Amino acid sequence: MNDLISGGIRPPGATVAIPLLAVLMIAGYSPPGVRPVQAPAGALPDIPDVSDIVRDLALERLDPPIPVLYVKSSPSLSRSARRWQILMLEARAFWRNVLGSLPDGGLILVDSPAWVALRPDREYGFPGTRVRTRPDGVLTMIAVDSISGFGEAAEELFLLAPIALRGPLMARGLASADGAGKYAGTWVWVQLGEDLTDGLRIGARLWWQRRLVGATAAWMLLESPRGKELAPEAARAMDAWGWFLRRYFNRTAVSLSTAAVAQPSGKQYEVLELDARLLAMGRAIWRQYGVDAFARMRRAWPHDIQLEGVEETLDALWLQMPEMRLWEAVLLDPQSEEEWGFDR
């Protein structure tokens, strides 16, 4: 967790950043190396194929229609897998009824050793992590330990943070490792929402475009009456922890221009911050346009037209969403975000 906690930065109000690498050394984790070479322009996200590792782990698999894989270590985990499958089926039905599109994708519930084996380049319990298997397609991973490595590290972040940043988490009862784990779990809905992109014929060829579609779809679900029944604490966790991570890591935030083709990797705090920024923009889009947001995205990014560069891609979006143009500064010059008043 050294990158997550320090990353070569000093958090506001702290004289020395406290590394938490020991958390993952216990689990057999070794720090990631250099970030991978960026993929060619227009490439979809590089999701690793872990079919051979999954076969060696001998995971249990729930029957279709949505694949859910899990480590069968206890009856409670088996029940958890079934519950997650039901929740995902309900979410699919919600989006089908409202948008006429069904997302693909499944879920894999793992413990600490399995997580490290499947994605050694990502911290254990890290939000927004996906893998691919040959029989099951794209799967979102979730840490199933009651307190994950990510949750423990995020709790340390909270303790290091200035008092001004702690308020939203404390007010929502999420200022804990368990609260951070709830934030990690909300990424199931974001990444399931990303899989709506093709069905909606939105020409989102870059990872951040799909992430923005997924974030908007996740807010659509979780702020609806049905979503509040299915996942009653999810929207609060997304709101509070997303805000906290953006503010905490603002000093080292990367411009979307440098991460437009391939998501940041290796420096975990960069991934956390940029994902949280796109999550916040997805909420602003949903609250401004409602269901019409997806039609506007489709007009901005037609399925049969390839746009050149992040600026042209954003300009096309602002043409359809003029009220969102102020977010250009947040995406391209994130360290000036405080000046633009998005601290809410």
Place of tokens 């320090």: 6
- Which of 72-81, 265-274, 324-333 has the lowest average pLDDT? 72-81
Establish if 219 belongs to a structural domain.
yes
Cβ-contact 71, 77 below 8 angstroms: yes
User: According to the model, what pLDDT value does residue 29 have?
Assistant: 28
* 61 domain-assigned: no
pLDDT for the residue 192: 95
Beta strands in the chain (DSSP E): 60-61, 68-70, 106-110, 130-133, 137-143
**pLDDT tier at 294 (50, 70, 90 boundaries)?**
very high
- Distance between CA atoms of 21 and 4, rounded to whole angstroms? 9
User: Which range in 149-153, 166-170, 202-206, 295-299 is most confidently predicted, on average pLDDT?
Assistant: 295-299
Residue 245 lies in a domain: yes
- Inform me whether the pLDDT recorded for 24 exceeds 60: no
> What order of strands is seen across the sheet that includes strand 106-110?
60-61, 68-70, 106-110, 137-143, 130-133
pLDDT of 37 reads: 28
Whether 326 maps to a domain, the answer reads yes
Q: Which residue has the higher pLDDT, 2 or 307?
A: 307
Q: For the chain, what is the domain count?
A: 1
- Asked if residue 97 belongs to a domain, the reply is no
* pTM as predicted: 0.85
Q: Domain range spanning residue 220? A: 2-43+146-340
- 140 by DSSP, 3-state: which? strand
